[in-house]
Chain A
Amino acid sequence: GAVVSQHPSRVICKSGTSVKIECRSLDFQATTMFWYRQFPKQSLMLMATSNEGSKATYEQGVEKDKFLINHASLTLSTLTVTSAHPEDSSFYICSARDPRAGLNTEAFFGQGTRLTVV
């Protein structure tokens, strides 16, 4: 089945620094990828839709200058948390659909990235 890989799985960074998280579709090309944030014991909240070759679409309330998304190729989207603060500590998950299966199918999820800002 289609696989989505996320890297790193865990990252600890100092407050004020930036962190980049990668999301790759391993055996399919994804023109669209999705980034979610999950707080402890809570659900996934959609942050933005990453569009290959164009600007990401952010959900209401998500700071686009804080969470930079780049989708430079059909297999890679990156989320950069800029000037990270402890409140940005969270579990970030990406997902993508395999277009060969049609858009109205399930999304495949990365393993998630646990970000801790100290």
Chain B
Amino acid sequence: AQSVTQLDSQVPVFEEAPVELRCNYSSSVSVYLFWYVQYPNQGLQLLLKYLSGSTLVKGINGFEAEFNKSQTSFHLRKPSVHISDTAEYFCAVSYDTGGFKTIFGAGTRLFVKA
């Protein structure tokens, strides 16, 4: 079975500080990895994705993530956060079991303080 674990439910950080949101997954099949952001009462917006190739993936809004197969991790990072980055962040994996499904981690609330 596939699972996604986001280790931190909330991450408070000061503006312009760096941040890392952690994500670990487990799977018996090949997976594709994603980070999504959700603002209040809205759907999800893709930040970045790892499908194959380079393990360092750059996304929108200055975010990047690194796929580490040996540690089954896909941590999200940003070198300098802004107030506007305050949102809920979801790590997700997609896998093929005859139909591509996506499952999500529990989410991490990033709260950027002035």
Interface range, A side: 20 to 34
Whole-angstrom distance from the CB of B104 to the nearest CB of chain A?
A: 5
A93 sits at the interface (CB 8 A):
yes
A104 with B106: CB separation less than 8 A: no
User: What CA separation (Å) do A110 and B105 show in the bound complex?
Assistant: 19
Q: Does A75 contact B (CB under 8 A)?
A: no
Taking the complex as formed, is B11 at the interface, i.e. its CB lies under 8 A from any CB of chain A?
Answer: no
The answer to whether A114 touches B90, judged by C-beta atoms less than 8 angstroms apart, is no
CB <8 Å contact, B107 and A42: yes
One of B46, B94, B99, B109 near A104 (C-beta < 8 A)? B94
Cα–Cα, bound, A58→B96 (Å): 16
Which A-chain residue is minimally distant from B34 (CB atoms)?
A106
**Inside 8 A of B103's CB, which chain A residues have their CB?**
46
Chain A residue with minimal CB distance to B41? A114
Contacts known (A43-B106, A44-B90, A103-B100); A93 close to B43, Cβ less than 8 A: yes
Q: Using CB atoms, name the residue of chain B closest to A104.
A: B32
- Give bound CA distance, A118 to B34, whole Å: 36
Min CB distance B76 to A, Å, is 15
Contact B102 A43 (CB under 8 A): no
Would you call B44 an interface residue if the criterion is a C-beta within 8 Å of the partner chain's C-beta atoms? Answer: yes
Contact B102 A46 (CB under 8 A): yes
- Mask: chain B, 19-38; 1 = CB below 8 Å from A; 0 = not: 00000000000001010100
Per-residue B-contact encoding for A79-116, CB less than 8 Å = 1, 0 else: 00000000000010101010000011111111110100
Contact B107 A43 (CB under 8 A): yes
Looking at the assembled complex, report how far the CB atom of A5 sits from the nearest CB atom of chain B, in whole angstroms. 10
Report A-chain residues with C-beta under 8 Å of the C-beta of B83.
Answer: none
Q: Given the complex of chains A and B, what is the CA–CA distance between A79 and B15 in angstroms?
A: 41
Interface flag for B101 (CB, 8 Å): yes
Q: A43-B107, A95-B102 are in contact. List 8 more A-B contacts (CB 8 A).
A: A4-B43, A43-B90, A44-B44, A44-B90, A93-B44, A103-B96, A105-B51, A109-B44
Partner-A contacts on B (CB < 8 A)? 32, 34, 36, 41-46, 49, 51, 90, 94, 96, 99-107, 109
